[in-house]
Amino acid sequence: MKTALTIAGSDSSGGAGIQADLKTFSALGVFGMSVITAITAQNTCGVTNIRELDEEIIADQIAAVYDDIPVGAVKVGMLSSAEITRVVAGALVKHGAANVVVDPVMVAKSGSRLLKVEAVEALIQFLFPIADVVTPNLHEAAEIVGFPVGNRASMERAAIAIKAMGPKYVVVKGGHLPGAACDLFYDGKEFAYLTNERIETKHTHGTGCTFSSAIAAGLAKRMPVFEAVAVAKRYITVAISHGFSLGKGVGPTHHFYELYSQAGVVGDGE
């Protein structure tokens, strides 16, 4: 059985964070494990409270998993603070983590901050150098590089600047661009665009979490990185096209094994 670990925040409404990650792992036929960094009181309308866990229990969760179970890939999501970021990076180094996907989660779709402004520097300093893939959206890319990112030319400049911070691959997500949903993949040499038609829906809660977990699932299945990203792009497109209205606000993406096997996104799940 292939395994993947998510290190992220809990979303009580089940659409994003740890919950979206575990649903994605399951739908893609990978055994999911989780380390919780923070608990959000959250629903489709927004985040009403955040409680960070202390660094000791975060490090102990990571040790409990790595000391016992082979981890095929790890996805890192919400880290909340600079201290948590440092502890997670240190633990991943200590345990020799491989196939590290970092989704630099900063702000929820509803506008609440999920990573303190002063923690962005720690993310760049401690986690980017050990990341295989980093997956910023346009807003996160801009906050990381310090210039606006809003079209293909600036996405390419941002990808080059982020690559120089240490990750092996960068995917700048263009979900917030006008027009097609166009993501930029950069390996340090060439750019490749992964493009799908924009799906007209407001139900996009958890899209970034789902996409980065799907990449981790592909890496856990030992796919080459570009293939894992391409499969994740197909997965997120199907997940958004079956997104649905739940609650009063922004509904979630859909994760259902049968759907993905019919769409040819997953095999037999090994």
Ligand X SMILES: Nc1ncnc2c1ncn2[C@@H]1O[C@H](COP(=O)(O)OP(=O)(O)O)[C@@H](O)[C@H]1O
132 three-state secondary structure:
coil
- Does residue 141 contact residue 172 with C-beta atoms inside 8 Å? yes
In the list ligand MP5, ligand X, none, the entry touching 240 (Cβ below 5 to 8 angstroms by class) is ligand X
> Which residue out of 24, 37, 44, 204 is catalytically annotated?
204
Is 248 considered catalytic here? no
> Which residue out of 109, 173, 221, 233 is catalytically annotated?
173
In the list ligand X, ligand MP5, none, the entry touching 78 (Cβ below 5 to 8 angstroms by class) is ligand MP5
Give the containing element (helix H, strand E) for 46.
strand 46-52
Residues that bind ligand X (CB under 6 A): 137, 173-176, 181, 183, 196, 198-199, 201, 204, 207-208, 211, 233, 236-237, 240
Taking CB under 6 A as the rule, which mask of x and - marks residues 173-212 in contact with ligand MP5? --------------------------------xxxxx---
Is 182 considered catalytic here? no
The two counts, helices (H) then strands (E), for the chain are: 9, 9
**Contacts of ligand MP5 in 20-79 (CB under 6 A):** 40, 42, 77-78
Instruction: Quote the CA–CA distance of 234 and 219 in Å, as a whole number.
Output: 15
What distance lies between CA 143 and its chain's CA centroid? Answer: 17
Instruction: Quote the CA–CA distance of 102 and 65 in Å, as a whole number.
Output: 18
Instruction: Quote the CA–CA distance of 131 and 99 in Å, as a whole number.
Output: 8
Is 247 considered catalytic here? no
DSSP 190: -
> Which residue out of 37, 209, 210, 251 is catalytically annotated?
209
Residues near ligand MP5 (CB under 6 A) are 8-9, 11, 16-17, 40, 42, 77-78, 105, 108-109, 114, 205-209
